[in-house]
Amino acid sequence: MSDRWYEKAVIYCLDIDTYADSDGDGVGDIRGLIGRLDYLARLGVTCLWLNPIHPSPNRDDGYDVEDFYNVDPRFGTLGDFAELLHEAGNRGIKVIIDLVVNHTSDRHPWFQSARSSPDSPYRDWYVWSETQPPDRHQGMVFPGEQDETWSYDRTAKLWYYHRFYKFQPDLNIGNPRVREEIKKICAFWLQLGVAGFRMDAVPFIIEETEPGNPASPKDLNFLTDLRQHIQWRKGDAVLLAEANVEPDELKRFFGDDSGSSNRIHMLFDFMLNGRLMLALARHNPEPIIDALRDTPALPSGGQWATFLRNHDEVDLSRLTAEQRGDVFAEFGPDEEMQLYGRGIRRRLAPMLGGDRRRVELAYALQFSLRGTPVLRYGEEIGMGDDLSQKGRDAIRTPMQWSSLPNGGFSTAEPGDLVRPVVSDPTYGYEKVNVTLQRHDPGSLLSWFERMIRTLREAPEVGSGSCTHVDVPAPPGVLVHRADDRTGTMLFLHNLGPKDGVVDLGTLAEEAEFPNDVLADSEYPDPGELDALAVKGYGYRWIRLCRKP
């Protein structure tokens, strides 16, 4: 079994400003998060991923950074953050933070200096053009909210590039000083004690933008350089990257052509995520089977990060138009539920109609597939969304801790909250909250705790192989296995509403004492594996054998 900690981690993603408010100002803060670490430890979380923590004008939920070396004063101080790292470490929880270095805020001192004079030492830290680039209206990340990627700056009298919003000018990765600054930023936070970074928009970070060339070259060697730098600073530090690229490009983000894993440690598995959503929408496992078959083999040390919901929309851009239409029809039929023409801005529980069976099934499936599972805050209690909020903010509502006002998130007046707490009749904090579920051994929260404990006893899932078991199976039933030196786990997940029976007798000779370690209900002992029943929207995790 590998000793790479990230291969056996359970990652929990949260925004500090919507998690827990300790001082009653309506904004979540670091002290509030520290007060909830015991909750996270009980849940089984081993790694916290914090969305942007830096000072920011907050026009893009913190992704418009104006100081990479500090903490947003709304959240607390650097001292508070150091205390968070200490307290999390005491509970066996590592902390990674967002590294947002594709761009800065236009209020960042670097950009203010760069635009002020051609002699500024920061002028070439950004990407400029003296003339209006012909590809000005191409490559927008947020169609419908963006209409250009080049904007004219009247002070500089130049056009500047911004892959995202116009208030987020792109840094010039072709400038060696910019590269050194990025490495310095990483070194600073590693020295403070973070365990690594979730790298935002990696394909755009390494893009050496050329005006008029919408297919500008990418310098993947910078990822090699950055990997080497952080490993020298902290040997077990991890880079987890967002790189939603074509399948034939994926392996190049893990390592160079020699086959070594010398770039990114982990990539979010966007291809699998889209196929998972399609499979759930169609009640058919074939898209998942295709994803497992088509995914390229990773170099040693490379790892996928799996997810169902994250801090953004459900991105369906890797599906065909027909496939995307099927997912929209099932999970986001109304226009207000959709975003950018490619995604769904809802949490999973309302997407699945609040059906507890399907929510359990979906997460049991995600957590049993190869890779490291990532869980978005609030999913463990089945939180809903607020579609009255703008764009992605629909799923960035405050955590629902109790039936107290504001869901126990804050003692501030409701109008002073960073965002309103969900209060609809189905998913409102009065009905869906941690305290109610803590007192209910049959709650979704209790199920998540049990499921994650079971996963921690099955290291084959994170660090072993994941293989589809190709046997005749009823429609809707997926059978797969995870193998490693520690043993073998067998999984059955029924994506359809009808009960099914699967004959896996051919695996009986591999079994020592097969037994259900997690299931949606009580089933007969697996026996000879030749008649394994699984209910509609049911699942079974079976320990096939354990090796010393």
The residues annotated as belonging to the active site are 200, 242
- Cα–Cα distances (Å) from 259 to 239, 254, 263, 294, 374, in that order, read 18, 9, 11, 18, 26
What is the distance in angstroms between the CA of the first residue and the CA of the last residue of the chain?
Answer: 11
The rounded distance, in Å, linking the Cα atoms of 316 and 487 is: 35
- Cα–Cα distances (Å) from 393 to 213, 285, 310, 337, 433, in that order, read 33, 31, 12, 12, 20
Phi-psi region of 340 (alpha: psi -120 to 50; beta: other; left: phi over 0): left
> Which strands, in side-by-side order, build the sheet including 343-344?
314-315, 343-344, 338-339
- Cα–Cα distances (Å) from 241 to 70, 97, 269, in that order, read 22, 12, 10
β-pairing, 150-153 with 158-161? Answer: antiparallel
Show the DSSP H helices in 242-390 as ranges.
247-254, 270-282, 286-294, 321-331, 348-351, 356-368
- Cα–Cα distances (Å) from 128 to 133, 162, 201, 218, 419, in that order, read 10, 10, 20, 18, 36
Any residues with CB less than 8 A from the CB of 387 and at least 6 apart, and which? 336, 337, 345, 346, 394
Give residue 240's Cα distance to chain centre: 9
